[in-house]
Amino acid sequence: MKLFLFAAVLGLAAYALRQPRRTAAVADDVLITRIRMKLEKLVEHPGSVNIEAHEGCVTLTGPVGERELRPLKRALRAVPGVRKLDCRLTPHAVAA
């Protein structure tokens, strides 16, 4: 039983130390760069999206494809350093 508890505590400690901290402060310019890189992978026209960041709070404005919006929000919330995502993007229909 002691061995099992030791292994459980050791596994939990390894997991906790491996995870990036959500509260870790990231410089605003670094955060904007990370967001921009994600946008380039997920959005057809990433240049039309404006990004503002202040102490981990990210605000997005501009047009984005209707189908791109939900996956984009999910991916950006997972970016290290993002504490809050204020998504003011305007969804539009994508031409076929």
Give the chain's domains with CATH numbers.
22-92 (3.30.1340.30)
Q: Is the pLDDT of residue 52 over 90?
A: yes
Strands in the chain per DSSP E: 50-54, 57-65, 84-92
Task: Answer whether 35's CB lies under 8 Å from 62's CB.
Answer: no
Task: Answer whether 39's CB lies under 8 Å from 31's CB.
Answer: no
Residue 21 — very low, low, confident or very high, per pLDDT cuts 50/70/90?
low
Cα distances (angstroms) measured from residue 88 to each of 26, 49, 58: 22, 10, 10
Strand partners, 60: 51, 87
- pLDDT: which is higher, 91 or 17: 91
Residue 65 φ/ψ, nearest 5 degrees: -60, 145
Angle at 76 between CA 72 and CA 77, to 5 degrees: 120
Query: Does the model's pTM come out above 0.75?
Result: no
CA contacts within 13 A on the Cβ side of 60: 26
